Structure 1
Amino acid sequence: MPQSTEKGLAAPTPAGGENGSNEKKFTRADTKASGNTAVSQALPFTPHSAPSSKVLEALNSDAEKGLSDADAAKRLEQYGLNRLKPPKRPSPLKIVGRQLANAMSLVLIAAMAVSFGTFDYISGGVIAALIILNVVVGGYTEWQAEKTVASLESVGAPQATVMRHSGNSAAQIKVISVDEVVPGDIVIVKNGDIVPADGRVLDGHISNLEADEAFLTGESLPVAKQSEPIDEEECPVGDRLSMVYSGSQVTKGRARVVIVYTAMGTEIGKIASALDSKAARKETGLAATWYKFKVILGLEETSPLQIKLNQLAYSLLGAAIICAIIVVASTGFRDVPLTVATYAVASAVSILPASLIAVVSLTLARASQDLAKRNALVRRMDAIEALAAVENVCSDKTGTLTVGRMVVRKFWIPKAHGRGGELAPVNTQNGQAYSFETGSDPFYPRGEVKADRKVLASDRGGEVIDLKASKRQASEDDEDDDREWVVNHEEMEEGLQAMVQCASLCNQAVLSKPSEESGNWEANGDPTETALQVAAYKLGHGKPFLTHSKKHDLHRMQSVASVHRPPVVGMDGHFEQVVEHPFDSTVKRMSIAFKFVPHSDTAKPYVICFLKGAVERVFERCTTVHGEEFTEERRAEVIAKMDVLAAQGLRVLALCGKKVGIEELERVATMGRDDFEADFAFLGLAGIFDPPRKESAGAVADCFRAGITPRMLTGDHPATATAIALSIGIIDKTYSKTSVMTGQQFDALSDEQVDALEELPLVVARCAPETKVRMVDAIHRRGQKTVMTGDGVNDSPALKRADVGVGMGTGSDVAKQSSNLVLADDNFATICRAIRKGRSVFKNLQKFLLYLLSGNVAEIVVLLIGLAFKDANNQSVFPLSPVAALWINTLAAGPPAMALGLEPTALDAMDLPPSEFKHIFTLEFCVDLAFYGLLIGAQSLINFVIVLWGYYPGNLGLQCNEGPNTICDPVFKARATCFATLVIILMIHSLECKHFTKSLFKMNLLDNKVLLWCAVVLALTTFPIVYIPTINTRVFLLETIEWEWGIIFGQILLYIACSEAYKWVKRIMQRHKARPAGRAPADKTLRMEATIAPA
């Protein structure tokens, strides 16, 4: 076997090698397989800089026949399936382990062990049930989250068209799964296909190939490909024009490519591998040991909420131990009875919010489900936590703030100087602009086209001419009717008709009728050409109508002004293509020629040529305009109009045409491109843009109102970015110079200079992926949290660096894997909905934590202070039995807490300031906790005292903690009163916790029926507990009560009065606090129509 080269590829074995077989062999050294995924693939040279014949030879492949079936099978076995290495998924056992490894579970396990150790099987069993409940709920939640993530990674089964053969047979075209593509495969790619793996374009097998590589390179426009090798071996991916890359989409043309890298060996795979690796920590010695210890305790490498809850668990564990010691100390630490030991355990457990883990898991799971219904798929639960704290949203423009589809917004046709006296709308001072109506479906081929009443702003030095007023002066009898400004394609002015024909015929995009499922029109082709084709349809000049001589299958498209009339009036013939010179990135233009074929003797055949492209490149080929010389003065007029359109955020193209005699047909078809693209007549300008989503402006306004700064980071031109930002309110008309920057300008600033800026830029145009990373770092240096959106592989570092990385549903798999939230609809407004939900979750967590912990505080007040009540044997008489204490801590506390976690999204969520989950225990929260906990505990204890000393003469009986006896009836009745008071007030307290300041009587209690039913049902459970024989006396150590209900309801009314008074004081204090000023622009009502559409 030949020796492998330095880069790891063995030299190819010639056909008919050692065994005389004709089977071609292919060997790579240093190639390892992980599962079904090839991890390392290398050629001894860079394929983009080598001739395609050399690449074929190295891969032992044939451009005409491809691989043999046997060879392909061997390579598939050797190098594995062509798919990215999936992220490791936790096993069910590991998920269960995670639920048991958190601090609260460990504390409950310790309490369970103590309970069984003291022979308190009831308490131990209850705690064991709670642990199982927490594990089941938490484990199910995490399992569902993992299933959601897995569903995002592969949707559908993509296929590839390859050339294969069997032995010496002829080549066959086969359609196989992308997973089965191997190095050396000859793949046929064409318009609309997704490239299955990295491949080298083959000489002699390429036709006008362009691919969209925005996800990989950030380049917004499709890249024209070539088969010739690139001179530079070391050049950026975007400059390797002889290569196509896995995941890119072919937008034009077709080609054969030989696959050189698959799976993790592709460019997208390399980036995925780099993102998978974790940076090593720098700590050593004692610091490293301390860090690992904190990780074990759950105080590092987990979410802020989990860290805070773990800290709470350890704090409560310490408090529980102290409570247990206090209970045991009441006996003097001598001859501790079993009942006291049991009571000590019950007191310790009472301070622990046993259902906390389950409630948190359910709350986050419910939030995740709600977000999924609103097109936001949560990959990691910590995303919900982070959303509540974000103060910045860094968003892409295309497809997120905008619809992601180009549409024609304006046509502008220069004025014919020789017709200046006419007042028709197509002849203003320097030309006429037309506006195209655009609906919710950018590909919908109908819509009004209107001649603008006001000329573009640069006419007459900025003065606006009202054409309608001029026309009224010419004819007093004309009616003021908008319909006269709608273009009727039957009576189109000659210049507009030529312009529309150019847009339609100099175009390879194809529109398709809507399918029954989607209801939206579809398009296949370059986005710019698609926009021009839709514009042509709206004026009744769709390409099928111009090129088909007979009736075609497509429905006839008419403009609104001419329903029920033939699509192309006055055209007695059709066009047949003669020659095409495709768009070339070096010349930035496309040209085409058609022969007009008449259908009757009245029409004459002729040849018509069209040219479109970048304005400056088209000007080079124009010599006339409206039959007059295209002078420098006329060029300057056109340039001025182009600047006006560009300032409105439009991408401007120039359209040209010329007509020649039919006798020139053969010469036109055979002449070179330079000769063909000469002596054209300038027809006009087309302004194209990606319109903003209708909900973007409102979402941006919501962000500012919520104290969140939206920022646009886009690869588009600064003028386009500025216009869109103005239209949706990210910036206002008085924006500062630093509010809008290019990526180059921002990257040129040092970190110190960036930090010195009063405010980071709101718009960054021509933004590179590295610029996004710098923006995230700059925001973090200011102590703020941020959302970052991205859809390309190159966005992955910024997505991982951001607090909330948001991938797009239509984006790359690597970007999705790097994010913790995925937008199924790629919509900026969905991010705002997710933030609203995150803030609501934060408030809901505070609500149920306040309820749970205030209940724990109330129990501890009752249990510990109750130790002061001593019987004749100097033994403490417990106000609550251990079983009653556990009942309150589990069944009475858990369900209402879970229901509070399911509170509907707060309407005022976006009016609240950003809140970090690590700051969930605010000063206000702690004051509320102390107030409600002490109040409820005191009220319950007071009722215990009232019954014993107010009605009975303070008779505490003997051994009333052991079981029922006649002498203990007063104590049992007092316990029943204390128990009922505590449970019922806690149920009312759960309703009060729905809002921290709003009165109970002004709340909508029916918006959370689960909570209302929990409160009612659990309050009613006190009756069977108190009145069912044996259960009351033997289990709960209670006795039936009668007149005691009077003081119970008295305490309920007192609680409501105190709670309402407390909230009233809080509302007064809040009114005196100045609300932080929003950062919204002065004019948030600015819309696209004010910037682009005519007044």
Structure 2
Amino acid sequence: MENIPSEQKPIDNAGGDATQNGPLRAPAHTLSSNEIVTALQTDIENGLTASQAKQNMEKYGPNKLKEIPPPSFLSILVRNTLNAMTLVLIAAMAVSFGTQDFISGGVIAALIVINVGVGTINEYQAEKTVAALEAIGAPTANVIRRGADGGAGNISTIKTDEVVPGDILLIKIGDIVPADCRILEGQLAGLECDEALLTGESLPSVKTEEALDDPVCPVGDRTCMVYSGSQAAKGRAKVVCVATGMNTELGKISAALSQKASNNRIGFAATWHKIKAFLGVVDTTPLQIKLNKLAYVILFFACIVAVIVVASTGFKNVPLSIATYAVAAAVSLLPASLPAVIALSLSTAAKELAKNHALVRRMDAIETLAAVTDVCSDKTGTITLGKMVTRRVWVPAALEAGKLGVDTEFGTDLDEGQYFTVETGSDPFYPQGEVLADNKDVEQVPTQATSDTDDERTLANKGGKVLDLHNLAKPMHELTLCAALCSSASIQRVKPGDNDNSSNSDDDDDKVTDGWEGHGDATEVALQVFAHKLGYGKPHLTKTGSAPDAVASSPEEDEDISYSRQPGKYELLVEHAFDSSIKRMSMAYTYTPPAESGEEPYILVLMKGAFERVFDRCTSLLAEGGRPLEKSDADRVQAHYDSLASDGLRVLSMCSKRLPLDQTQAVREMQRDDLETDMSFLGLVGIYDPPRTESAVAVQDCHNAAIIPRMLTGDHIGTAIAIAQQVGILPKDYAKSAVMTGPQFDALSEDEIDKLDPLPCVVARCSPETKVRMVDALHRRNRLCVMTGDGVNDAPALSRSDVGVAMGKNGSDVAKQSAEIVLSDDNFATIIVAIRKGRGIFFNLSKFMLYLMSGNIAQIVLMLIGLAFIDEQGISTFPISPVAILWINTLCAGPPALALGLEKTPADAMDKKPSDYNTIFTFWWIFDLFAYGFLLGAIAIANFAIVMWGYFDGYLGIDCNEDLREDTCNHTGRARGSVFASFLIVLMVHAFVCKHPTQSLLRMNLGENKVLLWSVVILGVSVFPVVYIPVINDKVFLLFPVKWEWGLVFASALFYLVVSEVYKLARRMGQSRKDQSAHKDSDMVGEDGAAEAKQIAAREKTYKQSA
């Protein structure tokens, strides 16, 4: 067949293998492997020739994704420079230098450097940290290739990027699949692949050989394919490569990340959108848009103020002092410290979040977190541990009076039987925990396998009794023996030095979390851990000699988890690996009992697998003390199977039988089907990927904050529902519309999705496109969403969401590059910590913006009214000099503002609705802004007037704006000194007032924020050198030392404090009346109203405490 150029696509493979680069007539998973081998002109046994491989490399390119260049220092610098407030400051700096006001220009330049430098350095450091996170990849691949002249093929190891379509690859356990490949028929040996990064499924995908009929089935259902980036968890196979590089499923996702949202704007609309994007009023964070708009509004009014100042001269012979004053007046309207304070506040918050395992790559993402309405998350490894554990066990036995002892009499019971619950901590591999017998009044004591912190009271509160390892009933003994021995998996303690946490103290949680690791199939590891918890670890059952003292996978090690069990030796005789076609596996052991026991040796045959494939091989119930199976038994056991499955568990069946030792040779030669017959059914075991212990608390915090958590997973719908209910995403009585599958959601048009009320909280079996559509649907509803995830399948939605949060430990590089925040502990609950911090930053932003901008209004009030003070030459005499205004506006206002940005997050931050964080510029915030601003300005003007006309004769002097002389400008200099001192001291009091919009200053803990306290103290003391040091006072600040005016200064501070307290009291009383009115209305509503009334009562209590 003639090769079709790579850019040509023979068919539209939408939903199928649209990314294959070979000349195939249909998606690879719908074709037989022979058809693919023929189309790709390769050979199953010998592979491609060297010349074919070279030709395909030239045709399709290297097998690697398009590299995303990391952001350069320059690009980060430009991004931090091109924001509205910084551009306005640059303009003010240019005007200052143009009017020869070098002091003002220099101070503004310093502020610009601080603002841009802090943001740039922090973001660059975050990018370097992310780049340093360990990458996931497959550096080499095993291929079969022939020489240039043909001949027999040889197995060779090549770099992953040298793999080309048509290559025959060998995949074995532990390998990372280097490209998208089709499994060759007749070349499969129990291969299972972990595709969680692509599909989100917890369990490995069991691979098959047969072609599939559905061309558009999801990636997770294409069992005859293996995909780039997945890992072989079990078995082996020979495969043929059908897609490489950007044409793989992994490449398809990577390409989706580079695609921008569709832009239907054309002509003038498109140009106008680009202009607005450049100005920063679209396509950025909500707060940044508001701040940019604010900057342009302030710039507009600053220009008006400058014109007004110049207009006071009639625009004729404008003195340089008036021009300087005009610039100072304009600059006084600018919150010059605001960009620097925001940058430093976000930087400090980012460092604090880094200590809490959240690495912030984009500083502005922190403030966006405050107003998020939805958290869309993957399940596997994010909400769950990403590891399988045994959760429930059922044995078909009626135990005498509920007793579980080894000598307990029992009979078969298929109607109820005996259920057990297996407790698991934060580490799924830790072989210590509780196995509880459900709903039984059993007089048992805690086993030594339980945690030291578990006492009789805590166990009683868990609704069951812990099994006694020294006294275990036969039915549970037989099932646990099967779980331990019918397995090739193992667990082991990580030796000191194998990880960074090995030297931690006993109080360090990481010691337990990182202390154990599992090897082998995830399901078998879960069963092995379960068996270890009951003292049935496989290494101990197969150990020769006396009973081991410790439960650990390595028989040579004695660990601190100790209890004894009966000695004995099981030696492997026959193993039949798991076969996906019959869905079961079996192993046979010879058992040699201790010499003193008097027992006879025997052969023990064990089998586990899918219920329907195991139960039909059984002829009796229980190995000892059971009975033959009856026709009705299957339905009765099926009911228990369905019960476990409905809880989202993957259910396995266990069975066994004993054979005489003299049949050892016969068993070795026996056909598998003959060996796996006449078995005794032992019971059911339910395993699952458990939710993290913190996830339920984090989800509850979401509900408390009126944030909707949503689970979007590639896993099966039953499992998704069960986990969602466990962590609280779904209630037990959820509405049908709350759960959908990916294909169901994708089948809806945008209009149909927009009509859903509400959007589903759980979407199972979803593709990457499904997640992106969900994010877009939320955006159309004007909702802000966080997307958390760790897999490649999360990357497109991470990129499109308002804040993308990737997992740092197990996350793919594609996901990390797409996210604004990377969680170094892979913990879903950390996102709530980040949201809480984001809300704290929001509160602090409102505080220091109120402080800064009310000070700006006060300054402009002072300077504009000051134009009315005309001297003998008809020139306005400044009540305060331009340098003094700039000093107050930058160096004095900045430190308290920064200290307000470091305030602790309020305790009720997560009890408010996201809408409360939509904007800082609420009615009351704006009212406070002007109320405090005019009050501060009026006090300053009053000080000038009292000194000039109340104490002195009102003579303003001559040229006091240019040269402050003792003989002509003494009165003006004293009045300016009074204005400067009073304005700065009252502004320091104002910093404490801004700590809370309604709480009395008398009830605040002023020493709680030590940075604020010391900044106020130091700046207050800084008044004295400015006022009293010669040259600095009269030549730079154009003022004279004050004397009796200090009484006026402190009287001004006291007056401001009294007025502000009265104002806050009025606000509290008004809010209390409003809440009381709402409280009366709530009596007429149902339960929702009652809940609201409780909230109002709590608020009333808060207001009373504030008063």
Range into which the TM-score falls when normalised by the shorter chain: 0.7 to 0.9
Query: Which of 138-147 and 162-171 deviates more?
Result: 162-171
Q: Which amino acid in 1 is paired with 2:576? A: E
1:541 corresponds to: 536
From 405, 413, 428, the counterpart of 1:442: 428
1:569 aligned to 2:566? yes
* Alpha-carbon contact 1:707-1:914 (below 8 Å) kept: yes
1:109 aligned to 2:90? yes
CA distance in 1, matches of 2:353, 2:299: 35
* Alpha-carbon contact 1:420-1:427 (below 8 Å) kept: no
Change (3 A) 1:1081 1:1073: closer
Shift in Å, 1:599: 7.1
1:702 corresponds to: 701
Shift in Å, 1:867: 0.6
Aligned CA-pair RMSD: 4.1
1:854-893 correspondence runs (5 A): 854-893=854-893
Query: Which of 772-781 and 985-994 deviates more?
Result: 772-781
The number of residues matched between the two structures is 1026
Secondary structure at the aligned position of 1:273 is classed as helix
1:578 aligned to 2:574? yes
2:896 corresponds to: 896
Secondary structure at the aligned position of 1:301 is classed as coil
CA distance in 2, matches of 1:752, 1:77: 45
CA distance in 2, matches of 1:284, 1:556: 70
Change (3 A) 1:552 1:331: farther
CA distance in 2, matches of 1:848, 1:141: 21
1:1049 corresponds to: 1050
CA distance in 1, matches of 2:242, 2:717: 38
Shift in Å, 1:259: 5.2
Shift in Å, 1:926: 0.5
Shift in Å, 1:729: 3.6
* Alpha-carbon contact 1:741-1:764 (below 8 Å) kept: yes
2:254 corresponds to: 272
Shift in Å, 1:196: 3.4
Change (3 A) 1:320 1:709: same
Query: Which of 1019-1028 and 647-656 deviates more?
Result: 647-656
Secondary structure at the aligned position of 1:296 is classed as helix
Change (3 A) 1:273 1:674: same
* Alpha-carbon contact 2:3-2:23 (below 8 Å) kept: no
Shift in Å, 1:322: 0.9
1:370-381 correspondence runs (5 A): 370-381=352-363
* Alpha-carbon contact 1:380-1:821 (below 8 Å) kept: yes
* Alpha-carbon contact 1:729-1:1081 (below 8 Å) kept: no
- Measured against aligned partners, the alpha-carbon deviations of 1:175-212 in whole angstroms (never above 9, x if no partner) come to 87756766677765433333333345466764321101
Query: Which of 962-971 and 515-524 deviates more?
Result: 515-524
1:981 corresponds to: 982
1:398 aligned to 2:384? no
* Alpha-carbon contact 1:63-1:202 (below 8 Å) kept: no
1:384 aligned to 2:366? yes
Change (3 A) 1:717 1:245: closer
- Measured against aligned partners, the alpha-carbon deviations of 1:1042-1083 in whole angstroms (never above 9, x if no partner) come to 11111000011111122222222223333345599999999x
* Alpha-carbon contact 1:61-1:67 (below 8 Å) kept: no
1:268-307 correspondence runs (5 A): 268-307=250-289
Query: Which of 255-264 and 286-295 deviates more?
Result: 255-264
CA distance in 1, matches of 2:248, 2:22: 10
Change (3 A) 1:178 1:697: same
Query: Which of 877-886 and 672-681 deviates more?
Result: 672-681
Q: Which amino acid in 2 is paired with 1:243? A: M
Q: Which amino acid in 1 is paired with 2:845? A: L
1:851 corresponds to: 851
Change (3 A) 1:1064 1:74: farther
- Measured against aligned partners, the alpha-carbon deviations of 1:599-631 in whole angstroms (never above 9, x if no partner) come to 769654533322222223322222221452322
Change (3 A) 1:692 1:230: closer
Secondary structure at the aligned position of 1:956 is classed as coil
1:16 corresponds to: none
Q: Which amino acid in 1 is paired with 2:362? A: R
1:136 aligned to 2:135? no
- Measured against aligned partners, the alpha-carbon deviations of 1:431-488 in whole angstroms (never above 9, x if no partner) come to 222333333322122334343343xxxxxxxxxxx5679xxxxxxxxxx998995434
Q: Which amino acid in 2 is paired with 1:1033? A: D
- Measured against aligned partners, the alpha-carbon deviations of 1:516-567 in whole angstroms (never above 9, x if no partner) come to 33442100122221111111112222222233446899954599xx999885
1:536-685 correspondence runs (5 A): 536-549=531-544, 555-557=550-552, 568-569=565-566, 571=568, 573-584=569-580, 586-596=581-591, 604-626=600-622, 627-685=626-684
* Alpha-carbon contact 2:412-2:621 (below 8 Å) kept: no
Change (3 A) 1:895 1:299: same
Change (3 A) 1:953 1:779: same
CA distance in 2, matches of 1:42, 1:379: 39
* Alpha-carbon contact 2:716-2:764 (below 8 Å) kept: yes
* Alpha-carbon contact 2:328-2:882 (below 8 Å) kept: yes
Change (3 A) 1:270 1:761: closer
- Measured against aligned partners, the alpha-carbon deviations of 1:228-262 in whole angstroms (never above 9, x if no partner) come to 66688876544444432222122112345565544
Change (3 A) 1:323 1:829: same
Change (3 A) 1:242 1:772: closer
CA distance in 2, matches of 1:139, 1:486: 57
Shift in Å, 1:756: 5.6
- Measured against aligned partners, the alpha-carbon deviations of 1:100-134 in whole angstroms (never above 9, x if no partner) come to 43222332232233223323232233333333333
Secondary structure at the aligned position of 1:891 is classed as helix
CA distance in 2, matches of 1:724, 1:580: 33
Shift in Å, 1:1032: 0.5
Shift in Å, 1:866: 0.5
CA distance in 2, matches of 1:833, 1:1080: 30
From 308, 314, 318, the counterpart of 1:326: 308
* Alpha-carbon contact 1:705-1:1080 (below 8 Å) kept: no
Change (3 A) 1:132 1:778: closer
- Measured against aligned partners, the alpha-carbon deviations of 1:275-323 in whole angstroms (never above 9, x if no partner) come to 2122452112222222222223222232222221221111111111111
Q: Which amino acid in 1 is paired with 2:370? A: A
2:451 corresponds to: none
From 369, 384, 394, the counterpart of 2:351: 369
* Alpha-carbon contact 2:978-2:1049 (below 8 Å) kept: yes
Shift in Å, 1:952: 0.4
CA distance in 2, matches of 1:670, 1:1048: 104
* Alpha-carbon contact 2:489-2:518 (below 8 Å) kept: yes
Secondary structure at the aligned position of 2:914 is classed as coil
* Alpha-carbon contact 1:251-1:525 (below 8 Å) kept: yes
* Alpha-carbon contact 1:514-1:521 (below 8 Å) kept: yes
1:804-819 correspondence runs (5 A): 804-809=803-808, 810-819=810-819
1:31 corresponds to: none
Change (3 A) 1:1005 1:250: farther
- Measured against aligned partners, the alpha-carbon deviations of 1:923-942 in whole angstroms (never above 9, x if no partner) come to 11101110111111111111
Secondary structure at the aligned position of 2:794 is classed as helix
Q: Which amino acid in 2 is paired with 1:690? A: D
1:1011 aligned to 2:1012? yes
Secondary structure at the aligned position of 2:68 is classed as coil
* Alpha-carbon contact 1:192-1:525 (below 8 Å) kept: no
- Measured against aligned partners, the alpha-carbon deviations of 1:908-928 in whole angstroms (never above 9, x if no partner) come to 211233148762211111011
Shift in Å, 1:145: 3.8
Query: Which of 40-49 and 189-198 deviates more?
Result: 40-49
* Alpha-carbon contact 1:805-1:821 (below 8 Å) kept: yes
* Alpha-carbon contact 2:398-2:410 (below 8 Å) kept: no
Q: Which amino acid in 2 is paired with 1:932? A: Y
* Alpha-carbon contact 1:342-1:882 (below 8 Å) kept: yes
1:451 corresponds to: 437
* Alpha-carbon contact 2:936-2:983 (below 8 Å) kept: yes
CA distance in 2, matches of 1:236, 1:983: 67
- Measured against aligned partners, the alpha-carbon deviations of 1:791-837 in whole angstroms (never above 9, x if no partner) come to 33333343344333333332333333333333332322112111111
Shift in Å, 1:844: 1.5
1:29 corresponds to: none
For structure 1, list consecutive stretches of 5 or more residues without a partner in the other structure.
11-38, 455-465, 470-479, 1083-1095
* Alpha-carbon contact 1:707-1:1079 (below 8 Å) kept: no
CA distance in 1, matches of 2:563, 2:962: 99
Secondary structure at the aligned position of 2:373 is classed as strand
Secondary structure at the aligned position of 1:997 is classed as coil
Change (3 A) 1:182 1:998: farther
Shift in Å, 1:890: 1.4
CA distance in 2, matches of 1:448, 1:116: 75
* Alpha-carbon contact 2:332-2:859 (below 8 Å) kept: yes
Identity within the alignment, %: 52
